[in-house]
Structure 1
């Protein structure tokens, strides 16, 4: 079956409001219920790290947010020993549950949800719901995904350091419930269609990866004059107290130089929070590491800083300046691009170097492309690493080897590289368009599935209202029946001692 669904603006996010203002507007046999009504909810916890026996010879999966993929479990690497169930906050969640993340930075943009077909335990940032009889666990997982936009908008806590969900609000989230038999038909059709969508997404991601790799090869080889077959030979480079690695051969008439020989390189401004109120300071925009990407500048969020007027003047960026990252994650060292004067009076922070070419010795784009290619591995070898931050010093970055082509060929070389990159950019746009279409198709698929438009209703199916009546009646009975407590097992005594009292 192939979907033929409209992709209107209201078809993709699970809906702020569920369709059907009253029961008469619902698909035949469907009813409304909250997520809290559809199953038993379990919390998570972490067995004590001070009890090594909990983490030795484990057989029970212990699930945490890192194990969650978009629709399925990525991995369950952590196993705990069954003894942890007797003397820790961890509870065993039966097979067939639906697990979801309730505390993680990923909740800024997504709610990871997965069906878990085996017994599992959870860490404290997870919740799970075990569906009541008649509620298909796989259907419930898809139902929660279909309401992801609503959950993020209405169930997320505000003002917390790490994004999290208000579980009571989550449990109060309403979904439309089809008959049990239709739930299974819906799941079968969703999974069939999603398999086709995922195949297309995989091909698009592969195309994006290939385009990225090809662009890197074009700029790296082009900045060394190797886009075409040319005769190469070793070019001299004066030794320095730095790990240059293998210095590539260059075409005839090319030469090697150090960055400090062809460009004036300076560090940026350090923010002094205590002096931001100084009356003689001026406020100017400034670039941070997040603005300086590999091969591009991202300027949709440029912040401002107050600095002395003379500092604002000395650090003011000029068109043609090359910006290179000094610090951040290790793979960010040395990455950057060319400033084109996009923001007036802009300066840069101390974690971003500015390289200003001296006397037109090299085209700024050739220098930036080289820094993003050869310079990436060079900075990785010569950078330093603290606990949370990698960096490369101003003294070292000035020693970056730079290939210098003859002046008369530089402009044409840049045009040739850019022409090759245009073809790659077209391929990237095609792949990105395919991914956007796949996202729209997923959204349309879920909208159809959970509004009764994906599979036909069968009048012979028991209506969901009867199923929900049984579930609600069973919950009332369970609340009225005292639960018997299972006696805790005594903790094993340490070697050489008797049993510990309970």
Structure 2
């Protein structure tokens, strides 16, 4: 990132209070403005919704300037609920759930629901300064949350929190400098986002070239083919007949490939059910009482990602010993998801055998290929890229989820290259993706550096080290005392009525 500030520690320790410059003071949030929260009109009353009044919820908060709300309410909905119409600009701070601490500054007159604390600052504080001060203190404020996995923070607790208050002219200088530095960082973050998009485009183009033969066009020119894809299919068919294995779908010769990608001459099309045994997994049923029980780890849909297996959380299940043995995964087994969002059906990867006795649940299909000349990684690359359209078209949508049947998965058309070319394709793809992964890791590191730099800038800003102080500025404590003497800190608002307009001081927020 290009944005740098001399003397800034990019890994600042979390502190709730620190020594401030001479003309600064600590101020409770309750003393720097008029605070309130909103309300929610009865959701069963259509006459309360769809009116002209923007009604802001936590999902609308965008960590910057907010100019529109997803939902609106009527004047009746405002009057007959605890919602209040606030004049812009006002600051919003989410108090509940997973989004606690989410913020925005409303640029529009609007009402909010009860999950948002709203502040119309007094003349003692610049609203942009308050926004950045709360961003600096957000982690400490969130830590005060109470509750379970998704804590809440009450408005009383929030208003007892203190922020460092600079003299008003210095507040403007601080905001201007933060905006300048954050704009530089934002330009770098946009470049990182573009690089990520380019990397994803490269991945998809690479895989398409790999599974259509374009990637190894030069290789085919120089290396004679000793065994073609058709030879592999014939051997699989012959072994199936000699082993008495029932063929559940038509042979490759019957596959209509007229609408499929044109393949190199030595390649062939087949259906996935011909190439391997496909089975569903264990059904998760806590009421089941196995007679001969064993506890084993199992893979869920969340574990089977596109192009990798996520083992960050692996659950266990109690099953019959015979089921555990029948469904035990082997290294090289291909895994495909049976259900989920429609665009995620069929995503998968290859099991590496890293956890012993692993099985899979019924929403994950296991494919065990019949011939060692076939390569699970090649088949998975195809399913993850060109196979996406097949899974979307063949999947069945229910109210919340989509799924695909085992019989449909068996008909997935799969290209079969010569074995030697398959190995060369997988080698080239592996090398290219390894470089791409290294590049992605570098982008992740730079994004983390940008986040740390932002926190470091805010730390320096609210310790008085980002811009110079001016001894001639009116001390913040004197300003607070004068404002308190001139007007109430919490003006009275009538239910459903507008609050008095605030003399806002605004600059562009990030």
TM-score by length of 2: 0.84
Moved more, 222-231 or 450-459: 222-231
In structure 2, relative to structure 1, the CA distance for the partners of 1:122 and 1:245 (3 Å cut) is farther
- Alignment partner of 2:156 out of 136, 149, 168: 168
Retained in 2: the 8 A contact 1:68–1:74?
Answer: no
Distance 1:420 1:335 in 2: 20
Deviation of 1:55 (Å): 3.7
Equivalent in the alignment of 1:219: 207
Please point out which of 268, 271, 277 is paired with 2:281. Answer: 268
Q: Which residue in 1 is equivalent to 2:508?
A: none
Mapping for residues 95-494 of structure 1, pairs under 5 Å: 95-107=88-100, 111-155=101-145, 157-159=146-148, 163-227=151-215, 238=254, 246-275=259-288, 280-473=292-485
Whether contact under 8 Å (1:361, 1:404) holds in the other structure is no
**Residue 62 of structure 1: aligned partner:** 55
- C-alpha separation between the residues in 1 aligned to 2:80 and 2:113? 15
Q: Contact conserved, 1:257 with 1:401, CA < 8 A, in 2? A: yes
Shift of 1:8: 4.8
- Aligned pair 1:39/2:50, yes or no? no
SS at match of 1:265: strand
The answer as to whether partners of 2:31 and 2:489 remain within 8 angstroms in 1 is no
Q: Residue 53 of structure 1: CA displacement?
A: 4.8
Q: Give 1:9-20 correspondences, 5 Å limit.
A: 9-11=11-13, 15-20=14-19
CA change 1:314–1:485 in 2 (3 A) is closer
Partner of 2:246: none
- Deviations for 1:325-365, whole angstroms, at most 9, x for unmatched residues? 11122222111111111111111111111111111242111
CA distance in 1, matches of 2:132, 2:344: 37
Shift of 1:459: 0.8
RMSD between aligned residues: 2.7
Instruction: Give the match's secondary structure for 2:143.
Output: helix
For residues 209 and 444 of structure 2, the distance between their equivalents in structure 1, rounded to whole angstroms, comes to 26
Which residue number corresponds to residue 86 of structure 1?
Answer: 79
Aligned residue pair count: 464
Q: Is the 8 A contact 2:8 2:460 kept in 1?
A: no
Shift of 1:50: 5.1
CA 484–357 in structure 1, closer or farther in 2 if over 3 Å, else same: closer
Equivalent residues of 1:104, 1:163 under 8 A apart? yes
Q: Distance in 2 between matches of 1:377 and 1:66?
A: 32
